[in-house]
Structure 1
Amino acid sequence: MGISGNVRQLTIAAAGPSNVAPRTSAHSIPAEQALIAAVMVNNKLYDELGGSVRPEHFYIPLHAAVFEAMERLINVRGVEANPINLKQELKGSPFDAEKDLYPHLKDMFESGALASDVKSLAEVIQTTYVQRQMIGLADGVKSAAEKAVTPEDIGLILSQAGDELYRLSETGSTNTTRSVRESLKNMIEHAELARQSGTGIIGVASGFPDLDRLLGGFQRSDLIILGARPSMGKTSLLLNIAEHAAERLSEGGDNGAAVGIFSLEMSAEQLMQRLTASKAGINSQLIANGRLSDKDRDRMMAAAGQLADLPLYIDDTPALPINALRARARQMKRQYGIGVLIIDYLQLLTSPGKRSEASRVQEISDISQGLKQIARDLNIPVIAASQLSRSVEARDNKRPQLSDLRESGSIEQDADVVAFLYRDDYYISRALGGASETDLSSDADRRKVMEMKDRLEKARGITELIISKNRKGPTDTVRLLFTPETTSFSSYQSY
């Protein structure tokens, strides 16, 4: 039997002020009294806190109740949070102003008189709150771990603990409101960086100039979806992008990044086989079946040596839950400083607890929202491959469109960029099958086959990367060239 119920209890932060405070926990009563008194005397100081202190951050239950009452008076009722108004407001709490608050006002105001900086007081209150929560979390992890039965139980405990630690690390950073002046300043700095770069690229470069010009590189906090039907080259393109970003960083160039890769379909060894073949310019199948010539083996070893030191980090755990991926991505960010995250592919992620409660569409929505949240939390671009529905195959024009996102849910809504891969040669080859004009008796059929073969030769390798959504700029189609033997893409040059 699992312990999912116990795991959920690891979220040990109080939902609101408690009536009893543990005597041995970290706290600072003077800081709490001084902050409350300072705001009580001058309500304008409340705005300086910027929402960084909440009632549950206080150690003393009375202080938590008073601060919550002050918030209601200032934010909801729009009246002064003074002792008289607080007396009325506390009537809905377990405390009474006459018995509980007023006897402490003298001590509070004496502490408040010494308070010159409410932000420093807020930091003390936040720090002691986090200390208490971490102690409680450690106790919760210990209790749950002792009851764990399966590896899944342990995985859930680690995921929940990671989420809680990350939440605690964000304590005090709740003030996300920006003035127009500050937003304009950030926008101008962004524009200046793009202008000074000379290329317009200020995000992570893809290695494909036409794509980088269109998107300005992959931008921080963006979710980029790469959709395609099977065999179009999604994984190959993602690996090419990863290699380029890692190489640029390794060489000290601009617009590079360490790359985290979550491969839910292929093993790390399979990915390396593809990447090595692409780097060496040799057929990946020759590596797999051991039919390399001495020359090709030397090229493979040279390519492997070049790849070995690149800042690429792979997690090939299959069927990974989105909350586990979030925890592991945060670990990659802390440990390796990744600047871009790649997921291959979105539909192979899971959303624990949703399958029996909601449709697959809702589950995919939860996953896409989770990926967007990771991009924002880590402030890096997240690039996720996505399968497309079979409805593409039923149309004469098989170029993908936004409605083809399989079980799309909110993928289109959550994504900042949606791109599709399309190769005409794939569909021409499939239509031809093994047909040969010499096997046909009809002149019309023979001409048709010859025309299709001619089309195939002209279209061979030409790939359309269709940018169907670009929240920050225009949409367009970028042409690439695919080499199936080396499973690699390059920029398309027409002659």
Structure 2
Amino acid sequence: MVDQERLLPHDIEAEEALLGSLLIDPDAILKVVTGLKVDDFFDEMHAAIYGACLALYQRSEAINQITVAHELMRLDRLEHVGGAAYLSHLIGAVPTSLHAEYYGAIVERMSVMRKLIMAGGRIAAIGYAAGPEIDVSLSQAEDALFQVRMRENSRDFVSIRDVLDKYFDQAGRTDDEGAEGIRHVQTGYAGLDGLLGGLQRSDLIVLAARPS
């Protein structure tokens, strides 16, 4: 009998390419951190490596082959993932981190497909075991799908750290570039531009005045 787990959707090459991207580019984690979870990885070794990357990110530490290996060693997981040699293999699996977001999207999609399959299995079991109170069984089945949906909705949330990082990065660029280099769209009214700092991307500005 074929091992059922092997039939679940997964893409090992995408997982390897994503992890390799994280190891060669310290900023690549920013492309996936808000959506990709540790348990989205099919391979347990890959999940452990990504977990180490997340731990470093959350502590604002650099992510590279050496720091990830050290973090895994600290957790007594380095040998579990194949040692430093496997981290080197991951780096060799991808020439550039340019497509890290794309690799992450593949890993996420495969994870959702697996969760749908498992939810379907739970719904089938609920159906076979359904008693006279059919509303109870329907509620349980809906809950199984709701858990998958809630997980997907949670990917849309952005952490306050990411918001602040983006804000301070933009503020820093503005200070460094000086008045002539401020990246904004001028309104044509000097006084208004002075108050607003120009029209910045994503701004919603409402102008109102009393009738004369």
> CA, structure 1 residues 183+145, in 2 after alignment: closer, same or farther (shift >3 Å)?
farther
1:227-248 alpha-carbon deviations (Å, 9 max, x no partner) = xxxxxxxxxxxxxxxxxxxxxx
Out of 39, 51, 64, which is 2:34 matched to?
51
Residue in 2 that maps onto 1:73: 56
> CA separation in 2, counterparts of 1:115 and 1:56?
22
Residue in 2 that maps onto 1:379: none
> CA, structure 1 residues 173+101, in 2 after alignment: closer, same or farther (shift >3 Å)?
farther
Task: For 1:90, give the aligned amino acid.
Answer: L
Give matches, 1:211-230, under 5 Å: none
Give matches, 1:129-278, under 5 Å: 129-149=111-131, 150-170=133-153, 172-175=155-158, 178=163, 185-188=202-205, 191=206
Alpha-carbon offset, residue 121 of structure 1: 0.8
> Normalized per residue, which structure has more helix?
2
Alpha-carbon offset, residue 168 of structure 1: 4.3
> CA separation in 1, counterparts of 2:101 and 2:125?
36
The SS at the match of 1:170 is: helix
> CA separation in 1, counterparts of 2:35 and 2:65?
23
> Normalized per residue, which structure has more strand?
1
Alpha-carbon offset, residue 123 of structure 1: 0.6
Verify the 8 A CA contact 2:23 2:65 in the aligned structure 1.
yes
Out of 83, 89, 102, which is 1:107 matched to?
89
Q: Which runs of 5 or more structure 1 residues have no equivalent in the other structure? A: 1-20, 196-495
Verify the 8 A CA contact 1:87 1:98 in the aligned structure 2.
no
The SS at the match of 2:156 is: coil
> CA, structure 1 residues 49+98, in 2 after alignment: closer, same or farther (shift >3 Å)?
closer
Alpha-carbon offset, residue 176 of structure 1: 5.9
> CA, structure 1 residues 143+38, in 2 after alignment: closer, same or farther (shift >3 Å)?
same
> CA, structure 1 residues 158+186, in 2 after alignment: closer, same or farther (shift >3 Å)?
farther
> CA, structure 1 residues 99+121, in 2 after alignment: closer, same or farther (shift >3 Å)?
closer
TM-score normalised to structure 1 length: 0.31
Verify the 8 A CA contact 2:40 2:108 in the aligned structure 1.
yes
Task: For 1:131, give the aligned amino acid.
Answer: M
Out of 38, 42, 45, which is 2:25 matched to?
42
Alpha-carbon offset, residue 183 of structure 1: 9.2
1:87-119 alpha-carbon deviations (Å, 9 max, x no partner) = 332245563248713232343112221542211
Residue in 2 that maps onto 1:85: 67
Verify the 8 A CA contact 2:123 2:144 in the aligned structure 1.
yes
> CA separation in 1, counterparts of 2:140 and 2:146?
10
> CA separation in 2, counterparts of 1:68 and 1:132?
20
Residue in 2 that maps onto 1:95: 77
> CA, structure 1 residues 159+24, in 2 after alignment: closer, same or farther (shift >3 Å)?
closer
> CA separation in 2, counterparts of 1:97 and 1:41?
21
> CA separation in 1, counterparts of 2:8 and 2:154?
18
> CA separation in 2, counterparts of 1:167 and 1:117?
27
> CA, structure 1 residues 99+175, in 2 after alignment: closer, same or farther (shift >3 Å)?
closer
Out of 14, 19, 41, which is 1:31 matched to?
14
Verify the 8 A CA contact 1:31 1:124 in the aligned structure 2.
yes
Alpha-carbon offset, residue 142 of structure 1: 0.9
Q: How many pairs were matched up? A: 170
Verify the 8 A CA contact 2:49 2:72 in the aligned structure 1.
yes
Alpha-carbon offset, residue 54 of structure 1: 1.4
Task: For 2:90, give the aligned amino acid.
Answer: M
Task: For 2:78, give the aligned amino acid.
Answer: D
The SS at the match of 1:22 is: helix
Give matches, 1:278-289, under 5 Å: none
TM-score normalised to structure 2 length: 0.67
Give matches, 1:1-20, under 5 Å: none
Task: For 1:187, give the aligned amino acid.
Answer: L
Verify the 8 A CA contact 2:10 2:107 in the aligned structure 1.
yes
> CA, structure 1 residues 89+176, in 2 after alignment: closer, same or farther (shift >3 Å)?
closer
Using the aligned pairs only, state the percent identity.
14
The answer to whether 1:61 aligns with 2:31 is no
> CA separation in 2, counterparts of 1:50 and 1:34?
16
The SS at the match of 1:112 is: coil
Verify the 8 A CA contact 1:43 1:81 in the aligned structure 2.
yes
Larger Rg: 1
Verify the 8 A CA contact 2:32 2:104 in the aligned structure 1.
yes
Verify the 8 A CA contact 2:69 2:78 in the aligned structure 1.
yes
> CA, structure 1 residues 183+57, in 2 after alignment: closer, same or farther (shift >3 Å)?
farther
The answer to whether 1:126 aligns with 2:108 is yes
